[in-house]
């Protein structure tokens, strides 16, 4: 089996929102994707940014956007992010009653389709849906806020998803989000994740670009790409 090189996606949730373009440029040389957390104060209690800000940011960088929608009614909004040029659009399983149909729409709009699984949601009911998706985002915290402590027990879901994806030869990135840092990324990689979101670990670092490189090295060391 071939193991792809790991993806590191800095989350701008931990950046200085008054200087967003500069904060994006600060990771441009080393990041694989830019992770953008859209929160609507309904699906999660927090409120962040929406489509106009994402459109403005898309115009200032060539980084692929990994949009993580923590919103109710993703069917209403998700396709617009794909139309705007996001590389990957992820919506939450808990917020959508027909995930496969929305995934299809995202793909026909030219984006990758992602399914997110929050802390308290089991993975098993969604395994059969995975062929319709390009990314599976497994929360390693409760969605809603940055800077929370990583919950290692949630890696069981990553192991289950990895076994399922490998057995079915699925082309699927398994992404982890929440509390990913130098002291947690290796166990997530060993569990089977191959895309890593990091907010605090990147933007609280003195050198955000170097922090991305260090995280990628740790993931590669834990599971060498082949």
Residues involved in catalysis: 37, 177
Q: How far is CA 94 from the centre of its chain?
A: 16
What are the residues facing 66 on neighbouring strands? Answer: 35, 88
Indicate the helix (H) or strand (E) that contains 164.
helix 155-167
Name the residue whose CB lies closest to ligand DX5: 199
If the CB atoms of residues 90 and 214 are measured against Zn ion, the closer one turns out to be 90
Q: Is 144 annotated as a binding residue?
A: yes
- Under the rule (CB under 5 A), what is the footprint of Zn ion? 37, 68, 177
- DSSP result, 27-41: TTTT-S-EEEEEEBS
Strands (E), 104-194: 112-117, 135-139, 173-177
Shortest distance, position 82 Cβ to ligand DX5, whole Å: 19
- Cα(135)–Cα(28) distance, rounded to whole angstroms? 22
143 binding ligand DX5? (CB under 6 A): yes
Q: Which does 78 bind (CB under 5 to 8 A by kind): ligand DX5, Zn ion, none?
A: none
Q: Under the criterion CB under 6 A, does residue 177 sit at the interface with ligand DX5?
A: yes
What is the contact mask toward ligand DX5 in residues 25 to 64, using x (rule: CB under 6 A)? ----------x-x---------------------------
37 annotated binding-site participant: yes
Under the phi-then-psi rule, with left for phi > 0, alpha for psi from -120 to 50, and beta for the rest, what region is 77? alpha
Say how far residue 118 (Cα) sits from the centre of its chain: 12
66 binds ligand DX5 (CB under 6 A): no
CA–CA gap between residue 38 and residue 48 (Å, rounded) = 6
Residue 114 in contact with ligand DX5, rule: CB under 6 A: no
| Contact positions vs ligand DX5 (CB under 6 A) | 11, 13-14, 35, 37, 68, 141, 143-148, 177-180, 197-201
Point out the annotated binding site for substrate: 11, 68, 144-147, 177-179
């Amino acid at each position: 089996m071939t193991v792809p090189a790991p993806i590191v996606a800095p989350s701008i949730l931990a950046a200085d929102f008054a200087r967003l373009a500069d904060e994006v440029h600060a990771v441009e040389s080393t990041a694989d994707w830019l992770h953008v957390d859209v929160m609507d104060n309904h699906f999660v209690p927090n409120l962040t940014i929406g489509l106009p800000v994402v459109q403005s940011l898309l115009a200032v960088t060539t980084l692929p956007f990994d949009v993580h929608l923590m919103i109710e009614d993703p069917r209403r909004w998700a396709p617009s992010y794909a139309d705007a040029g996001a590389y990957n659009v992820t919506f939450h399983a808990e917020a959508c009653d027909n995930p496969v149909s929305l995934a299809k729409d995202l793909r026909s709009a030219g984006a990758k389709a992602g399914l997110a699984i929050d802390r308290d949601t089991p993975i098993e009911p969604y395994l059969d849906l995975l062929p319709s998706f390009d990314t599976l985002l497994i929360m390693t915290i409760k969605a809603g806020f940055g800077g929370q402590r990583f919950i290692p027990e949630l890696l069981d879901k990553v192991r289950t998803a990895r076994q399922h994806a490998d057995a079915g030869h699925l082309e699927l990135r398994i992404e982890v989000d929440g509390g990913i840092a130098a002291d947690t990324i290796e166990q997530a990689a060993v569990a089977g994740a191959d895309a890593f979101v990091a907010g605090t670990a990147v933007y609280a670092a003195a050198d955000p670009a170097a922090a991305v490189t260090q995280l990628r090295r740790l993931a590669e060391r834990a599971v060498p790409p082949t």
